[in-house]
Structure 1
Amino acid sequence: MDFDTGSRLKEEREKLRLSQRQLATATGVTSGMISMIEQNRTSPSVATLKKILAGLGISLGDFFAGGGDGGTKWHFRHDELREITPAAKLGEAGGGVVFRQVGRPGASAVQMLYETYASGADTGAELYSHDAEEAGIVISGRVLVTVGAETQLLTAGDGYLFNSRTPHRFHNPGPDDCVIVSACTPPTF
């Protein structure tokens, strides 16, 4: 997927008539970092992008969504799942993380994701949080899930359910890819 994170971020910032410095002050992310992201000179971590988007009042799903597809469609083939992966997670050393969402962002009170973690991939070194609850089931592979100060290794068939306001992180220790089907409500990721 070819997604221009920098242009999209600049477009959203300018819609609110914020300078890079104003956005930096509101989010705790340096104006230099925001500038580099907007110029596509660096890719933000999930945690950093979430901080910036929180300052803009939009979710990751809405940020990565294309135009609305309308209607009341209730079924989605695998190739119709909308990729909402931050650019920083694609092609990192050790693999990548890919998030695909069922349905159109903002069209439902629940956000359903098909998550793939390559061997060694994770959601970033920093724990992140958002205003929701999330649950998931590991379909294949294994994943280290950190919620607060506790880390558990989950394998195929294992699940999780936690308040997403608690800082958390996902890491695939390998050796195989890991697939998770998860849900978040309200949709904030």
Structure 2
Amino acid sequence: MMESLNVGTRLRELRKARKLSQRELAKRAGVTNSTISLIEQNSVSPSVSSLKKILDALPVSISAFFAGDEPAPPRAFYSADELTEIGDGNLSWRLVAARRPDRSISIIHERYPPGADTGTDMLEHEGEEGGVVISGEIEITVAGEARVLGAGDAYYFDSRLPHRFRNTGDVECVIVSANSPPTFAEGGREIHHA
């Protein structure tokens, strides 16, 4: 079974390694000081969009945050327990080959329990993304247009358009998605608005 990462401790280590105060990181990320403090104390679990905003301010990619900074040699196959969890503790996003150097695509096995949401802040990042709903239903909003997709339905859009994923149903939703370049999981290479 995969070990759960201590998000608060990891964030504090990265912030201190960059010689940033909680106040300075909060200012750069556009969040309150108390948000940084509560996350570092593990008093709250940040949404994916909130964590991305904070990591972009460091800058650190989501995959490096969860996988560690050591690259792994390229290989072809990964067992289920080798996928790197980059979700927020409620929704689960498991990234394939997180530590592969020069990865040009992100492939993510996503699980949204009922009520799960990527956050009230819309996500925006470079690239394109697409996916197929494997089971359940998901409400996806892209540039103000919302649609509920079910098993077998798919999506594909320019990731610079503001977007959000929400499970408004009463069963878990499972999606397999991809984005290229892997900017969502490799934040900090460019300006993000999430």
In the alignment, which of 95, 98, 101 is matched to residue 101 of structure 1? 95
Q: Which has the higher contact order (CA 8 A, sep 6+)?
A: 2
Task: Tell me, yes or no, if the aligned pair for 2:72 and 2:99 is still in contact at 8 Å.
Answer: no
What does 1:3-22 align with in structure 2 at a 5 Å threshold? 3-22=5-24
The number of equivalent residue pairs is: 181
Between the aligned partners of 1:128 and 1:24, the Cα distance in structure 2 is 18
Corresponding residue for residue 132 of structure 1: 127
Matched residue, 1:59? 61
Which is worse superposed, 99-108 or 132-141? 99-108
Q: Deviations over 1:123-150 (max 9, x none)?
A: 1233222223211111111111001210
Q: How does 1:13-162 map to 2 (within 5 A)?
A: 13-66=15-68, 68=70, 70-86=72-88, 90=89, 96-105=90-99, 107=101, 108-162=103-157
CA–CA separation in structure 2 for the residues paired with 1:50 and 1:15: 18
CA distance in 1: counterparts of 2:175 and 2:99, whole angstroms = 19
Consecutive unaligned residues in structure 1, runs of 5 or more: 91-95
Equivalent-residue separation in structure 2 for 1:165 and 1:22 (angstroms): 27
- Partner Cα distance (1:51, 1:127) in 2: 11
Deviation, structure 1 residue 102: 0.8
Provide TM-score, normalisation by structure 1: 0.88
The correspondence for 1:166, drawn from 158, 161, 183, is: 161
What is the rounded CA distance, in whole Å, between the counterparts of 2:4 and 2:137 in structure 1? 28
Runs of 4+ aligned residues of structure 1 deviating over 6 Å after TM superposition are none
Unaligned runs of 5+ in 2: 186-194
* Partner SS for 1:48: helix
Once the two structures are aligned, what percentage of the paired residues are identical? Answer: 45
Distance 2:99 2:125 in 1: 16
